[in-house]
């Protein structure tokens, strides 16, 4: 049984399957770092910068169901404001544990280093970025405050913040018996639940051409199996949004592809937009998800379910439990739909290199030809993401990307979190040069902990997403010898790739050697980009 506040916090984290905590130490958090070190089954992962810890914990949370950042006061905590905002925007259950000045030091109101305006500044910042935040400045309330914050994180799949004054780490608590693990609060069905189920069933029953559109919330609330079962039971085809890509296996026979409104493939668009019953599951109507608001989804013929509300035929009810609602549809006994012709993503095809310079499109062709179930694809923002829309993700492969919040620099540190959360899957990271210069150092963190990601750097000398919107020298990126970085970190293989033949050889080498990391630097023409990105930036550029 835990006997101190610090031990209790770690006890709760273990119940949530947390085996790794990401961060950078600092004097206000050293005592808690020591406690982590002494705790079996939880390992502290030192990143180069706190920003890297934030992105790593976000990726870890997306796979593991809960992720933790542990950093020091202000100089550490404020550095993770952006990754935590991303976790909030994209519904990733990340807990921030920040060390802080001791309660006794706060009473004396001393000008301790790392202080900004007052002792509450950092808490006030995280009030904006989390669903629950606390400072554990009262020993007697520490347990209930820890539980309150973790409960909110689990319920909303969004970040929480716990500030741990350094003199509270070893504050004694007394527990005679263990507590049950914290699980999501069961939402009440509400008086109109049965009505909504009946109306939805009637719509589905009437429909000739229903379609399911799946977004990331389904993944975050771990409902992918329920959704698959729902589609199979009623024989309804499924598309995914950009953000929801890979929530459903892309080799599933009912899977038709990624829907991106007017910017995506016509075959998928036709099925979704011509449908007489659009079943939207967790769909966030963001610009990226809707092809810059070119999506044509009709509320009158929609069943639109998200974690905070259900709309059926224009009628809205708040906070319906998603899983219970989907189960009711599955168990309704209505007749499955008759099969009809639906499109499918193209099969994997062998990559046959031509004697020509390499292009973005062909990088994705080459990756697609090698994708297996023991990989996790992590795309950064930009063409690393849009080009990836045509990858066919296998049933047990994960695909991870910050496709809504779109913070560049996510992918390399995320590969550390993903590889630790899911050791059986090797990360394939696709990242632009601009993003790599932000956080690519965290490759050394991967190496430090024996991970072996394959990092594919799309080196086009600039912010390629922005050039077609409005170009100037501000979009240029200073060139690095990326492929030589393994020499800096004393491990791994770097390869510079200029032709399709180079690409083919390098990818073969990398995929067949999982004993070390690979840095594949792909030299691209500065104006080369994927078709998807061309369509998107035309849409976004009109607003600049």
Cα end-to-end span (Å), the chain: 57
Q: How far is the CB of 149 from its own copies (least distance, A)?
A: 17
401 binds its own copies (CB under 8 A): no
Q: Which stretch binds its own copies (CB under 8 A): 84-92, 220-228, 231-239, 415-423?
A: 84-92
Scanning 55-63, 369-377, 419-427, 474-482 for contacts with its own copies by CB under 8 A, the matching segment is 474-482
Please give the Cα distance from 138 to 145 (Å, whole number). Answer: 9
Q: Report, in Å, the least distance between residue 180 CB and its own copies.
A: 31
* Residue 481 found at the interface with its own copies (CB under 8 A): yes
The whole-angstrom separation of Cα 304 and Cα 199 is 12
Positive or negative torsion for Cα 155, 158, 416, 362: positive
* 466 near its own copies (CB under 8 A): yes
Asked if residue 350 binds its own copies (CB under 8 A), the reply is: no
Cα distance between residue 485 and residue 335, in whole Å: 58
Q: State which residue, 51 or 397, has the beta carbon closest to its own copies.
A: 51
Residues numbered 522 to 541 that lie near its own copies (CB under 8 A) are 540-541
Name which position in 42, 48, 311, 324 contacts its own copies (CB under 8 A): 48
**Interacting residues with its own copies between 12 and 41 (CB under 8 A):** 24-27, 30-31, 33-34, 36-37
**Residue with token string 């770690």:** 10
Q: Is the CB of 187 or the CB of 469 nearer to its own copies?
A: 469
Q: Shortest Cβ distance from residue 329 to its own copies (Å)?
A: 26
What is the DSSP track for 351-412?
A: ----SSB--HHHHHHHHHHH--TTEEEEE-STHHHHGGGG----TT-EEE--TTT--TT-HH
Residue with smaller CB distance to its own copies, 387 or 440: 440
**Structure tokens that stand for 208 in this block:** 């000739």
**Looking at the DSSP assignment, which residues form a beta bridge with residue 212?**
238, 279
- Pick the stretch among 72-80, 255-263, 358-366, 526-534 that binds its own copies (CB under 8 A): 72-80
Phi, psi of 9 (to 5 degrees): -60, -45
Query: Judged by CB, which is closer to its own copies: 257, or 440?
Result: 440
CA 299 to chain centre: 28
Least Cβ distance, residue 169 to its own copies (angstroms):
9
Q: Which C-beta is closer to its own copies: that of 321 or that of 434?
A: 434
**Residue listed under structure tokens 């808690």:** 32
The Cα 75–Cα 78 span in angstroms is 6
What is the dihedral sign for C-alpha 270, 271, 275, 277? negative
CB of 24 or CB of 213, closer to its own copies: 24
Nearest approach, Cβ of residue 185 and its own copies (Å): 21
Q: Does 78 bind its own copies (CB under 8 A)?
A: yes
Contact positions with its own copies (CB under 8 A) in 151-170 = 166-167
Stretch that binds its own copies, among 113-121, 177-185, 297-305, 364-372 (CB under 8 A): 113-121
Q: Does the protein bind its own copies through residue 447 (CB under 8 A)?
A: yes
Residues that bind its own copies (rule: CB under 8 A) add up to a total of 91
**Chain position carrying tokens 């399709």:** 500
Residues 255-284, interacting with its own copies (CB under 8 A): 284
Instruction: Answer yes or no: are the C-beta atoms of 42 and 404 closer than 8 Å.
Output: no
Residues 281-300 that bind its own copies (CB under 8 A): 284-289, 293
Query: Smallest gap, in angstroms, from Cβ of residue 354 to its own copies?
Result: 30
Which of these ranges, 103-111, 180-188, 250-258, 356-364, lies near its own copies under the rule CB under 8 A?
103-111
Q: Please, what is the minimum distance in Å from the beta carbon of residue 432 to its own copies?
A: 13
Q: How far apart are CA 94 and CA 421, in angstroms?
A: 13
Task: By CB under 8 A, tell whether 356 contacts its own copies.
Answer: no
**From 148-156, 211-219, 420-428, 471-479, span contacting its own copies (CB under 8 A):** 471-479
The reply to whether 474 sits near its own copies by the rule CB under 8 A is yes
- Closest CB 362 distance from its own copies, rounded Å: 26
> Judged by CB under 8 A, does residue 116 bind its own copies?
yes
Least distance from its own copies to the Cβ atom of residue 453, Å:
15
**Cross-strand pairs, 312:** 303, 315
Antiparallel, parallel or unpaired: β 398-400 and 375-379: parallel
Query: Can you tell me the distance from the alpha carbon of 182 to that of 197, in angstroms, rounded to the nearest whole number?
Result: 29
Cα–chain-centroid distance for residue 154? Answer: 16
Residues shown for the chain: 544
311 part of the interface to its own copies, by CB under 8 A: no
**Closest distance of CB 61 from its own copies, Å:** 17
**Binds its own copies (CB under 8 A): choice among 16, 204, 408, 411:** 408
The rounded distance, in Å, linking the Cα atoms of 384 and 355 is 23
Q: Which of 121, 151, 179, 199 binds its own copies (CB under 8 A)?
A: 121
Structure tokens at 319: 């906070």
Report the DSSP beta bridge partners of residue 239. Answer: 213, 257
Cβ–Cβ < 8 Å for 436, 457: yes
- Indicate the helix (H) or strand (E) that contains 122: helix 121-127
Q: Does 448 bind its own copies (CB under 8 A)?
A: yes
Using CB under 8 A as the binding rule, whether residue 444 contacts its own copies is answered as yes
The answer to whether 486 touches 494, Cβ cutoff 8 Å, is yes
């Amino acid at each position: 049984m835990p006997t101190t506040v610090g031990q209790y916090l770690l006890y709760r984290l273990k119940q949530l399957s947390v085996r790794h905590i990401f961060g950078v130490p600092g004097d206000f958090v050293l005592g808690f770092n020591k406690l982590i070190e002494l705790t079996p089954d939880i390992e502290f992962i030192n990143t180069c910068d706190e920003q890297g810890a934030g992105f790593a914990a976000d990726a870890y949370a997306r796979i593991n169901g809960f992720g933790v950042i542990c950093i020091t006061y202000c100089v550490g905590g404020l550095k993770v404001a952006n990754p935590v905002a991303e976790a909030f925007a994209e519904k990733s259950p990340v807990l921030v544990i920040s060390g802080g000045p001791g309660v006794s030091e706060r009473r004396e109101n001393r000008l301790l280093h790392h202080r900004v305006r007052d002792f509450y500044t950092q808490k006030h910042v995280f009030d904006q970025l989390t669903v629950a935040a606390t400072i554990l400045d009262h020993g007697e309330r520490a347990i209930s405050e820890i539980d309150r914050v973790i409960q909110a994180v689990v319920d909303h799949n969004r970040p929480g913040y716990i500030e741990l004054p350094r003199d509270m780490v070893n504050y004694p608590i007394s527990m005679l018996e263990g507590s049950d693990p914290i699980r999501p609060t069961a939402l009440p069905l509400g008086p109109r639940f049965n009505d909504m189920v009946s109306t939805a069933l009637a719509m589905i029953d009437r429909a000739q051409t229903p379609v399911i559109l799946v977004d990331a919330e389904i993944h975050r609330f771990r409902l992918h199996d329920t959704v698959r079962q729902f589609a199979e039971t009623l024989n309804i085809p499924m598309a995914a949004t950009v953000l929801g890509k890979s929530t459903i296996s892309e080799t599933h026979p009912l899977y038709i592809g990624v829907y991106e409104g007017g910017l995506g493939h016509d075959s998928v668009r036709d099925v979704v937009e011509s449908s007489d019953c659009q079943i939207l599951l967790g769909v966030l109507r963001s610009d990226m998800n809707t092809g810059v608001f070119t999506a044509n989804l009709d509320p009158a013929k929609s069943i639109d379910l998200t974690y905070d509300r259900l709309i059926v035929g224009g009628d809205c009810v708040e906070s319906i439990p998603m899983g219970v609602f989907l189960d009711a549809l599955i168990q309704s006994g209505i007749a499955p739909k008759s099969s009809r012709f639906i499109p499918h993503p193209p099969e994997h095809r062998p990559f046959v290199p031509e004697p020509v310079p390499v292009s973005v499109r062909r990088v994705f062709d080459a990756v697609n030809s090698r994708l297996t179930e023991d990989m996790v694809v992590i795309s950064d923002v930009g063409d690393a993401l849009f080009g990836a829309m045509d990858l066919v993700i296998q049933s047990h492969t994960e695909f991870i990307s910050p496709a809504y919040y779109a913070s560049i620099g996510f992918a390399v540190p995320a590969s550390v979190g993903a590889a630790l959360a899911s050791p059986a899957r090797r990360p394939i990271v696709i990242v632009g040069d601009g993003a790599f210069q932000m956080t690519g150092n965290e490759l050394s963190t991967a190496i430090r902990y024996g991970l072996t990601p394959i990092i594919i750097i799309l080196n086009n000398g600039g912010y390629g997403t922005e050039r077609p919107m409005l170009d100037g020298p501000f979009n240029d990126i200073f060139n690095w010898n990326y492929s030589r970085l393994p020499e800096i970190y004393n491990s791994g293989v770097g390869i510079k790739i200029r032709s399709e033949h180079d690409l083919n050889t390098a990818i073969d080498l990398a995929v067949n050697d999982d004993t070390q990391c690979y840095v594949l630097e792909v030299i691209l023409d500065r104006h080369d980009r994927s078709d998807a990105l061309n369509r998107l930036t035309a849409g976004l550029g009109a607003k600049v």
